[in-house]
């Protein structure tokens, strides 16, 4: 009988997308092939503690897992790694995530972690930081590497790369928090000289449309600039594109493939955090009602975007299709997209012939493939 592969599913985190991550992780764990994989659940609390969790899976989405973990025998790893005062400035002793997992009580039976599935979104999960830890540890992990994760998280840098790649996109400007606070008039004048109203304002490093606003006039521009600056030191101001919002999923490593294309019809003025996760009234149409030539163009751009960042495993790439002309513009890339049972990434692949459980297994296989490719001489 073949030994099961031990997968550590890491969820939660310290970003503004902590709750979304928990729901995604619950879906992944429910649908992973238990005949082939043993799952170790690892939760990261909002204050940064890593906890081993052995309780009911249905407590992840609600957040009840944390209290259960603390009242059983879960152990915070932070003190063992960073010192008694939990200072974030101390170096991690013995750069090995295997020792991290053991310290958290995750392989006390002597079994090692074979693969990590980081079901994390936003800062400290999707931005290359935790990927660097796995690299130091020498453990295969699902998703993009350090560079692709970091660049993919920073919308300003992805725009530079997409521009170099020749993928059409809207006009944009980048400001930092200090500019906004100390030279607000200059920022406003710069925006108004380049972009007409309405325009979009968003943190350069954030996901799930957290901190994103649409400015219809100068007053709203000021409000959205300061709101975006709460979430990141770098703020992006983008041209408003009067287009249909469509998304495409990409799967693979060096030879990625693209799914069909889905269209999002938001219940609010745009597809913000509330429309995605709270109101639950937005509509998704898969496949999108677009000409085959447009769908083919979007799929081609999606693969090009994926490869231009040297992504691995999975990504979801978002586009606009102009309502009047049908011209396609890229919006952004998500290297660790939402993975709930109703999230666009798995739904797009389900519509393309890969069911949820099979998709999870493919991603784990791709993680091992990428790891072996890196260590091969």
Is the separation of the CB atoms in 218 and 268 below 8 Å?
A: no
Q: Which of 12-21, 80-89, 205-214, 307-316 has the lowest mean pLDDT?
A: 80-89
Helices (H) and strands (E) in the chain, counts: 14, 13
pLDDT tens-place string over residues 225-284: 999 999 899 999 999 999 999 999 999 999 999 999 999 987 555 544 554 444 456 689
Q: What percent of the chain has pLDDT over 90?
A: 73
Alpha-carbon Rg for the chain in angstroms: 21
Question: SS3 of 172, please?
Answer: strand
Q: In sequence order, what are the residues at sequence separation of 6 or more whose Cβ sits closer than 8 angstroms to the Cβ of residue 309?
A: 144, 147, 148, 151, 152, 158, 161, 333, 335
| Separation of first and last alpha carbons in the chain | 32
Q: For residue 106, what pLDDT band results from cuts at 50, 70 and 90?
A: low
Rounded average pLDDT over 53-68: 94
Reply yes or no on whether the pLDDT at 87 is more than 50.
no
Q: Both tokens of residue 110?
A: 């002597």
- Which pLDDT value is given to residue 255? 97
Ordered DSSP codes for 119-167: ---STTTSSSHHHHHHHHHT--BSS--HHHHHHHHBHHHHHHHHHHHT-
Q: How far is CA 216 from CA 77, 86, 198, 367, in A?
A: 47, 45, 4, 44
Domains of the chain: 5-141 (3.40.50.20), 152-168+242-375 (3.30.470.20), 172-239 (3.30.1490.20)
In the prediction, which pLDDT does 336 show? Answer: 95
pLDDT, tens digit (0-9, with 9 covering 90-100), for 22-37: 999 999 999 999 999 9
């Amino acid at each position: 009988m073949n030994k099961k592969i031990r997968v550590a599913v890491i969820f939660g985190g310290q970003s503004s997308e902590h709750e979304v991550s928990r729901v995604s992780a619950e879906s992944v764990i429910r649908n992973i092939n238990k005949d082939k994989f043993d799952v170790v659940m690892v939760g990261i609390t909002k204050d940064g503690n890593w906890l081993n969790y052995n309780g009911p899976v249905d407590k992840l989405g609600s957040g009840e897992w944390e209290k259960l973990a603390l009242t059983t025998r879960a152990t915070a790893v932070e003190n063992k790694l960073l010192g008694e005062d939990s200072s974030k400035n101390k170096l991690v002793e013995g750069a090995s995530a295997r020792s991290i997992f053991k310290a958290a009580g995750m392989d006390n039976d002597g079994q090692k972690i074979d693969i990590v599935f980081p079901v994390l979104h936003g800062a400290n999960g999707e931005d290359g930081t935790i990927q660097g830890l796995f690299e130091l540890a020498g453990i295969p992990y699902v998703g993009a590497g350090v560079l692709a994760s970091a660049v993919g998280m920073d919308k300003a840098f992805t725009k530079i790369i997409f521009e170099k790649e020749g993928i059409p996109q809207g006009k944009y400007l980048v400001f930092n928090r200090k500019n906004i606070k100390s030279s607000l008039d200059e920022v406003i004048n710069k925006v108004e000289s380049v972009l007409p109203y309405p325009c979009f304002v968003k943190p350069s490093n954030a996901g799930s449309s957290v901190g994103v606003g649409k400015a219809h006039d100068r007053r709203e521009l000021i409000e959205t600039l300061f709101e975006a600056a709460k979430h990141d030191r770098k703020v992006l101001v983008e041209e408003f594109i009067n287009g249909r919002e469509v998304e495409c999923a990409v799967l693979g490593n060096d030879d990625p493939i693209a799914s069909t294309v889905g269209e999002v019809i938001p219940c609010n003025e745009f597809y913000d955090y509330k429309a995605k996760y709270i109101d639950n009234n937005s509509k998704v149409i898969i496949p999108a009602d677009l000409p085959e030539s447009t769908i083919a163009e979007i799929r081609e751009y999606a693969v090009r975007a994926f490869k231009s960042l040297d992504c691995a495993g999975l990504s979801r790439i978002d586009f606009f299709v102009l309502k009047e002309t049908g011209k396609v513009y890229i919006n952004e890339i998500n290297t660790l997209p939402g993975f709930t049972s109703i999230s666009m990434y798995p739904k797009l692949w389900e519509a393309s012939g890969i069911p949820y459980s099979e998709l999870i297994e493919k991603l784990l296989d791709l993680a091992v493939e990428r790891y072996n490719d890196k260590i091969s001489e």
